[in-house]
Amino acid sequence: MRKFLLAIAVLSLSVLGHAQILDPVQWSTSVEKVSETEYELIIKAAIEPGWHLYSQTVPEGGPIPTSFMYDDSEGNFKIVGNTVEDEGHVVDDPVFGMKIKFFENKAIFKQKIEVSEGVETIEGLVEFMVCDDTRCLPPNEVDLEFTISEKSQASTTVKESDSDDAEKVIEEAEASEEKASKKGLWSIFFIAFLSGFAALLTPCVFPMIPMTVSFFTKQSKNKAVGIKNAIIYGICIIVIYLLLGTAVTAIFGADALNALATNVWFNIIFFILLVVFAASFLGAFEIMLPNSWANKVDSQADRGGLIGIFFMALALAIVSFSCTGPIVGTLLVEAASKGGLAPIIGMLGFSMAIALPFALFAAFPGWLNSLPKSGGWLNTVKVVLGFLELALAFKFLSQADLVSQTHLLEREVFIAIWIAIFGTLALYLFGKIQLPHDSPLSHISVGRLSLGLIVLTFTIYMIPGLWGAPLNLISAFPPPQDYSESPYGVGFTKVGGGATASSDHGSLPEGAHLLAPHDILAFNDYDKGLAYAKEVGKPVMIDFTGWACVNCRKMEQNVWPKPEVLEILKNDVVLISLYVDDKRPLQDHEVVDSKLRPGKKLKYIGQKWSELQTIKYKANSQPFYVLMDHNEENLIDPVAYTPDVKIYYNWLKTGVEKFNK
């Protein structure tokens, strides 16, 4: 059993290795003097949230226990007693199916020793295994070193204090990243749920509610059976869309579409696809699956029982495809580009919104009388969705432009297009524009007027963006502020006294540029940035980023401009921004063999920086921030997406302070 689980652990790691390199436990050591000849060796384990480090004692057939070995081959010290560990937790472990003691977040182990004179260091080794609630990593070994001499002990104590501060900052940053990740999945679920309700209010789906509920209540022997069948029907709808989301994840892999998000041609294809969806919703044509599919599925629905109900749900999905297809397609494209379980989460939210009304109205058929009658308002919902699809399409075209650096769709052009789209939508809602399938409009309802005012307000809000306003509400969508015709705003140079953008820095160093509008001195070349950092005596901050990285833009527009963070970025570090999706070709003398893909060459600038991040820092997600000294050693553990300004500032401050000591 134990060997079987370990084999699964190794297989899990090999699969997960394509997404990220996991290293959830960081070890640190210190020494406390007890008497002239006695010392206590202290080992600390900092454990990432969600992971478990197992005790030194576990039941037979369980995971590999944590064990310590101390090199006493020279006989200059004596181990006193056993290694003592924290109290920990004893729970029913879901992976191994037994009661096991393990540690969360952190663990401290202590070992007492007696030493001879002249001992300066003691070497050790820890073997351990970690799991979370669904997977385990293979057993790992880490070398330990303990400094005993009085002179070294003083420096070790200072270093350990720094380490504690750094660990605290890293723990906060990792917790913030995990919280942001969970928030991202919840956001996808919430958006998908709202999209499901929007699809529910389209002409293809809304009229089906009373028809379907009436069928179940009339064809069932009693009310209870009708309710049960309608609930099963709703569950079948959820299962069908979940299977779709699962298929996308399984076929393309958990992170494959995330990689495609930076591909120029795929972004252009997504743009064209969404424009087609938008045109369909606006009334140019209808996207329909072949009628033969619907007829075959409908014939299976007559079989009765659970199979018949399932095919009825499948028939609904096919018949309503002309309305739900564009929404589902957009959700899958947007969710899949984020990688992981996002497509499944998105389809769960969408299908729940579709299925819920059928189950509720079957349970309470009297509610059907309160439903609004079908009419022209259903087409209005479709048209509004069409405008939203059209606006979203330009996000993908913008990503293709950013990655290829063609500067055809810069920030001002993107914002102007959105102003035109939402301004036209406002005119439509106010009844000034009519489209092919609209009913004659004798008056505007209060709801339509209210929505029109909201859209008009949003349109007016975007207008200052043409003159350099940050537009934080939509920071994830338009290109960054430095990717524009006028980085400091139309008709403006740098704020203050008419100075030019580079006046504060004099003549810029070779390879450097200023990130507008905040004037952060930045390099896009690793070697030039490091050389400049050595010249001015400042630490280096590497920013592994991407042109199509949404969270990178959020950090740059919502976190970096904060005064305390901006002060450090402008004055205390040298910023090197490395774009892992930069598709510009490397010069001939820079083309080398890939170390990660045998037989392949690194042809593009982005491939060079992506491989650097993966090999040196064992990570491949962006944004990813590294603070290092002039010897290219980390001053503090790197962090990823950290939207909490205070945590990010503390990380920067801690790293800079360690450099200055």
d(CA 491, CA 467): 8
Cis-peptide into 478, omega within 30 deg? no
Q: What is the pLDDT of residue 10?
A: 41
d(CA 319, CA 386): 19
Indicate the average pLDDT of the chain: 76
User: End-to-end alpha-carbon separation of the chain, Å?
Assistant: 52
Residue 301, judged by CB atoms within 10 A of its CB (0-12, 13-18, 19+), counts as middle
The domain spans of the chain are 2-155, 186-374, 410-491, 503-660
Tell me the residue ranges of DSSP E strands in 48-180: 52-54, 67-70, 77-85, 89-93, 98-103, 106-115, 121-128, 130-131, 140-147
* pLDDT of 363 higher than 90: no
Identify residue 90 by its one-letter amino acid code: V
Mean pLDDT of the region 95-121: 82
Q: Who has greater pLDDT, 62 or 64?
A: 64
Q: What is the pLDDT of residue 500?
A: 36
d(CA 32, CA 148): 9
Give residues with Cβ within 8 angstroms of 623, minimum separation 6: 543, 544, 545, 549, 551, 552, 555, 640, 641
Q: What is the pLDDT of residue 539?
A: 94
Grade residue 151 by pLDDT with cuts at 50, 70 and 90: very low
Q: How far is CA 243 from the centre of its chain?
A: 22
Mean pLDDT of the region 334-358: 73
Grade residue 36 by pLDDT with cuts at 50, 70 and 90: confident
Q: Who has greater pLDDT, 643 or 330?
A: 643
pLDDT digits (tens, 9 = 90+) for 469-507: 878 788 768 887 777 777 666 555 554 333 333 444 557
Nearest-Å Rg of the Cα atoms of the chain is 30
Q: Label the pairing between strands 634-639 and 624-628.
A: antiparallel
Q: Which residue has the tokens 């996991």?
A: 22
Q: What is the pLDDT of residue 166?
A: 47
Q: What is the pLDDT of residue 115?
A: 85
Q: What is the pLDDT of residue 496?
A: 39
Q: What is the pLDDT of residue 4?
A: 40
* pLDDT of 401 higher than 70: yes
Mean pLDDT of the region 628-656: 89
pLDDT digits (tens, 9 = 90+) for 588-635: 888 888 777 777 788 888 888 888 888 888 777 778 899 999 988 889
d(CA 631, CA 396): 40
Q: What is the pLDDT of residue 150?
A: 47
Grade residue 343 by pLDDT with cuts at 50, 70 and 90: confident
Q: What is the pLDDT of residue 651?
A: 92
Give residues with Cβ within 8 angstroms of 370, minimum separation 6: none
Half-sphere exposure of 272 (CA within 13 A, CB side): 5
- 3-state secondary structure (DSSP) of residue 301: helix
| Measured torsion, CA atoms of residues 174, 176, 180, 183, in degrees rounded to the nearest 10 | 120
* pLDDT of 218 higher than 50: yes
d(CA 154, CA 147): 10
Residue 473, judged by CB atoms within 10 A of its CB (0-12, 13-18, 19+), counts as exposed
Q: Which two tokens stand for residue 559?
A: 């976190």
* pLDDT of 585 higher than 80: yes
Q: What is the pLDDT of residue 418?
A: 95
DSSP at 512: E
Give the length of the chain.
Answer: 661
Q: How far is CA 546 from CA 566, 579, 612, 625, in A?
A: 20, 5, 14, 12
pLDDT digits (tens, 9 = 90+) for 273-332: 888 878 888 888 776 656 665 566 556 555 556 777 777 777 777 766 666 766 676 666
Q: Which two tokens stand for residue 361?
A: 């109205």
Among 419, 330, 429, 453, CA closest to 379: 429
Q: How far is CA 568 from CA 106, 510, 559, 561, 649, in A?
A: 30, 22, 12, 11, 8
Q: Which two tokens stand for residue 347?
A: 């389809």
Residue 506, judged by CB atoms within 10 A of its CB (0-12, 13-18, 19+), counts as exposed
Q: How far is CA 68 from CA 55, 131, 161, 307, in A?
A: 11, 19, 23, 58
Q: Which two tokens stand for residue 540?
A: 């280096």
* pLDDT of 161 higher than 70: no
Give me the helix-helix angle, 264-282 and 376-404, nearest 10°.
160
Among 66, 77, 68, 67, CA closest to 122: 77
Paired residues of 45 in beta bridges: 27, 107
Common-topology check for domains 2-155 and 503-660: no
Region of poorest pLDDT, from 14-18, 69-73, 614-618: 14-18
8 Å CB contact between 83 and 110: yes
pLDDT digits (tens, 9 = 90+) for 236-272: 888 887 887 677 666 654 444 445 556 778 788 878 8
Mean pLDDT of the region 636-660: 89
Among 479, 481, 460, 500, CA closest to 549: 479
Q: What is the pLDDT of residue 543?
A: 93
pLDDT digits (tens, 9 = 90+) for 508-552: 888 888 886 678 899 988 999 999 999 999 999 999 988 767 778
Cis-peptide into 436, omega within 30 deg? no
Q: Who has greater pLDDT, 467 or 548?
A: 467
d(CA 509, CA 534): 13
Paired residues of 96 in beta bridges: none
8 Å CB contact between 607 and 536: no
Mean pLDDT of the region 566-581: 91
8 Å CB contact between 575 and 519: no
The model's pTM is 0.50
Q: What is the pLDDT of residue 5?
A: 44
Q: What is the pLDDT of residue 135?
A: 65
- CATH code: domain 2-155 is 2.60.40.1250
Q: What is the pLDDT of residue 153?
A: 39
* pLDDT of 456 higher than 80: yes
* pLDDT of 102 higher than 70: yes
pLDDT digits (tens, 9 = 90+) for 408-436: 888 889 999 999 999 999 999 999 988 88
Fold adopted by 503-660: Glutaredoxin (3.40.30)
Grade residue 569 by pLDDT with cuts at 50, 70 and 90: very high
Among 60, 55, 112, 59, CA closest to 87: 55
Half-sphere exposure of 31 (CA within 13 A, CB side): 27
d(CA 588, CA 28): 44
* pLDDT of 1 higher than 60: no
Identify residue 494 by its one-letter amino acid code: K
Among 435, 433, 421, 429, CA closest to 283: 435
